[in-house]
Structure formats: structure tokens, C-alpha cells
Amino acid sequence: MQAVHGRPLQPGAQQQAVLAGAPLCWDCPAGSHQPKTGHYSCYHCAVGQYQAKKGQVLCLKCDTCAKGRYGTTRSKTTESETACTCEDCPEGKYTAEGHTQCYDCPNGRFQMDKGKAFCYYCQAGSYSVPGQKGCTACEFEKFQNATGKGSCETCPFGMYQHMRGQTSCRDTPAHKAQLDLHKAIDHNEL
């Protein structure tokens, strides 16, 4: 560790110049931090964080918001906790209490309202991809028989689906006739 006039260059400080072979350093200003020893610059506090004191190794999170809301600031380099605000998560996202960001609803889930701490499951016959505010009905020739899925299945060979949002496929007329014939043979009905 290097020293300036007997004072080591610590985390929370930035090295500004070198005088007579020894680094000259200043504390990082409020609204910034430096987590490592011996660096030449400070990092701005990110949006959603603040630091009221100078010479610090980290910024503090705006993490006092209720479920469905996230802590944020208007800009980087925020110097006061009073600059933290709580905003509702947008549709398609959620968050638990005390977070500084919202998270996309995962595959097969959705959220149609703002400011929520959970996501709903898509019903059978539909799907969603992350961050959606609603589910999409399965297309023609596809189905989904389970809830909370991120895609629909293609109808197997010999089957079809002519409607959207379905939970199963139907036998094609030719395939059904062939199945009926095999069933009759198996039961000695011919």
C-alpha cells in the first residue's frame, strides 16, 4: 500500500497526482465511491443509489420501497437518501419489497397491472415470453395443455388444430379412419 505523508492510499480515495515520488490523493466526493485501493478515479453512484459522505467504498441502495415498487433516483451521483423515490413497476414486471429494480415476469407468466409483486400464470392454450403484460393464444396447428408455459407445441403428425388457443389437437379424418380400422382389427370386429 502506498502512503501520502504517512497516510495510506485507501479505498474511498482517488489518486490525483504524484509529488516527489509519492501519490497525492483526495477522498471521493459525495455521490461517488471507490471500492479498491490505489485507483486514480471514483465511480459515480448508479441510478437507484446514493452516497451522502465523501471517501466511501460503496454507494447505498434506495431500498425502502414496498412490494411492487422499486427505488430510483433522477440521475447518477446522488448525494442524499431524500433524493430516492419509489416508482411502480410497469406492466409485465414485478419486484419484492426493498429492491432497486423490477424484474420481467418469466416465461409462461404475465402481469397486466403496474406496481405488483407477482406474476400470473398463463392458462392452458396460451403462452408468454418474459416481460409480457398478457398471454398469447396458441396459433393454428399448435396447442398447449399445461399452464405457465413459454411456448406452444406443434400438433403431431396425423393430427391438426384449426382453432387458436387450444389445449389439444384432433386426428385428421384420414388418420381417424385408420385408427378406427386398427381398433376394429384389434377387437376382432371385422
Which residues partner with 69 through β-bridges? 88
For residue 81, the 8-state DSSP code is G
Of the chain, the end-to-end C-alpha distance in Å amounts to: 94
Q: What is the pTM of this model?
A: 0.72
- C-alpha to C-alpha distance for 4 and 123, rounded to whole angstroms: 66
For residue 56, the 8-state DSSP code is -
Counts for the chain of helices (H) and strands (E), in that order: 1, 20
- C-alpha to C-alpha distance for 143 and 127, rounded to whole angstroms: 10
Higher pLDDT, 99 or 5: 99
Report whether pLDDT(81) > 90. yes
Q: Is domain 106-190 given the CATH code 2.10.50 in the classification?
A: yes
Average pLDDT over residues 18-46: 82
CB 87, CB 72: distance < 8 Å: yes
Neighbours of 41 (CB within 10 A): 10
Higher pLDDT, 17 or 163: 163
What integer pLDDT is reported at residue 49 of this predicted model? 95
Structure confidence at residue 21 as a pLDDT band (50, 70, 90): low
- C-alpha to C-alpha distance for 20 and 41, rounded to whole angstroms: 20
What integer pLDDT is reported at residue 175 of this predicted model? 56
Report whether pLDDT(130) > 60. yes
What integer pLDDT is reported at residue 9 of this predicted model? 45
What integer pLDDT is reported at residue 176 of this predicted model? 59
What integer pLDDT is reported at residue 51 of this predicted model? 96
- Domain assignments of the chain as residue spans, ordered by start: 106-190
Pairing of strands 32-33, 22-27: unpaired
CB 7, CB 17: distance < 8 Å: no
Percent of the chain with pLDDT over 70: 78
| Element of type H or E holding 186 | helix 173-186
